[in-house]
Amino acid sequence: MDHPTLTLEAKGGPATFVAAGHWTAAHSSSLEQLVGSLPSAGTQGQRVAIDVAGIERLDTLGAWLLERLLRHYQAQGQTPIFLGMPEHFRGLLGKLHDVNREPLSPHEGANTLIAALESVGRATVGLKGDLRCFLEMLGAIGASAAGVLFRPRSLRLTSAIHHLYRVGWQAVPIMLLITFLIGGIIAQQGIFHFRKFGADAYVVDMVGILVLREIGVLIVSIMVAGRSGSAYTAELGSMKMREEIDALRTMGLDPVQVLILPRVLALVCALPILTFLGSMAALYGGGLVAWLYGGMSPDIFIARLREAISVTHFQVGIIKAPFMALVIGIVACSEGLRVKGSAESLGLQTTTSVVKSIFLVIVLDGMFAIFFASIGM
């Protein structure tokens, strides 16, 4: 007989409950029902006996439910006692007699509307902290870079080159592929729509100017934010979690100088190069589509491209690249340092880092557009 039972035996005298069977976690749900559907046991002040002699096995769950039964009758003003308690259950029941004496705090079931408003409010106030964090990181990197200017030997050159290899050289194939495709798509769309009013020759102007001024740098920055910014955040975040950054600090080293400056520097060097390569790939893709799809021979494409674009367009694009890199680097590193102890927070900060840097890259691009328009570039 394994199944737990709890039966009421009223033989004139005090009410007696007889518990028997396996009072273990294996029968958790039926046990809870047994104890949950408690019959009322007579009038006030009466003795209630719980006969536990028939229990074959008992674990913490079963013992707690017995204890709960006991407390239930105590709360009703009765005097419950255990009958026939086997010696080897005594320790466990004694242990559970002392627990759960303080009432549990109820689960916080907040109003969803208020919770939504609260999170909006917190996010708004949080913006100030974000801005401060960004400026602090900018300042720290600036100070560290100035320190390097005075003492060039303090620059972690090996580390910087290593990161340049990772975020620059290793990123080249994917950047070339993506920008090549984007250039091709822009050219195809241009030819398809411009053809309706016989202006398909102007597709070269569109591709040239769009790619060099905006698309090249923007696509590359977004890709770098997703590819390298996230890696920076995750690396610094797990170093923070494992107290590696604290270890560096206690050795008298500045984490900004050792970890962050080489990373940001690598990014600032890599992004203009990737932007240049990406722009060339996009123009190549555009030219290929113009040839294969629009029937414009490469000679004509190049000749028209020469007329359509000037060095200014190229400059506008490439000047933006290091600033984009700086923004991505600052956001990635500051989010990395904001990681707390849990795996969840590492994931959260990595997501935040990518979302925030892509957003800032686009905002910065808009501000550059206004700036260049007003100085006539």
Partner 1 sequence: MLDPTQPSAISVRDLSVGFGDKTVLDRLSLEVRRGEILGLVGASGGGKSVLLRTIIGLIPRREGCIEIMGQPLDRSDPTAVHAIGRRWGILFQQGALFSSLTVRQNVQFPMRENLDISVTLLDELATAKLEMVGLSSDDGKKFPSELSGGMTKRVALARALALDPEIVFLDEPTSGLDPISAGDFDVLISTLQQTLGLTVFMVTHDLDSLHTICDRVAALADGRVVAVGPIEQLLVSEHPWVKSYFHGDRARVRASAHN
Interface residue list for partner 1 (CB under 8 A): 24-25, 28-29, 32, 36, 59-61, 64, 68, 88, 91-92, 94-96, 98-100, 102, 104, 107, 340-345
- C-alpha to C-alpha distance for 262 and 225, rounded to whole angstroms: 17
Whichever of 23 and 301 has its CB closer to partner 1, that residue is 23
CA distances for 144 relative to 159, 256, 328, angstroms:
15, 7, 18
What's the token pair of residue 176? 């070339």
φ/ψ of residue 362, rounded to 5: -70, -40
Q: How far is the CB of 241 from partner 1 (least distance, A)?
A: 8
Q: Closest approach of Cβ 139 to partner 1, in Å?
A: 28
Nearest by Cα to 225 from 324, 319, 328: 328
**Residue 7 half-sphere exposure, CB side, CA atoms within 13 Å?**
9
Between 63 and 308, whose beta carbon lies closer to partner 1? 63
Q: How many CB atoms lie within 10 A of CB 275?
A: 28
User: Considering beta carbons, is residue 47 or 68 the nearer one to partner 1?
Assistant: 68
The total number of residues shown for the chain amounts to: 377
User: Residue 164 is which amino acid?
Assistant: L
**Separation between Cα atoms, residue 19 and residue 57, nearest integer Å:** 11
The residue (of 19 and 361) whose beta carbon lies closer to partner 1 is 19
Q: Where are the extended beta strands (E) located within the chain?
A: 5-9, 15-23, 47-58, 79-83
Q: Closest separation between CB of residue 343 and partner 1, Å?
A: 5
Q: How far is the CB of 23 from partner 1 (least distance, A)?
A: 11
Q: Which is nearer to partner 1, 28 or 315 (CB)?
A: 28
| Rounded-to-integer distance, Cα 333 and Cα 328, Å | 8
Q: State the nearest-atom distance from the C-beta of 236 to partner 1, in Å.
A: 17
Closer to partner 1 by Cβ: residue 28 or 76: 28
**Radius of gyration over alpha carbons of the chain, in Å?**
36
Rounded to the nearest whole angstrom, what is the least distance from the CB of residue 35 to partner 1 in the complex?
9
Cβ nearer to partner 1, comparing 12 with 36: 36
- At its nearest, how many Å lie between partner 1 and the CB of residue 32? 5
Of 222, 225, 205, the C-alpha closest to 213 is 205
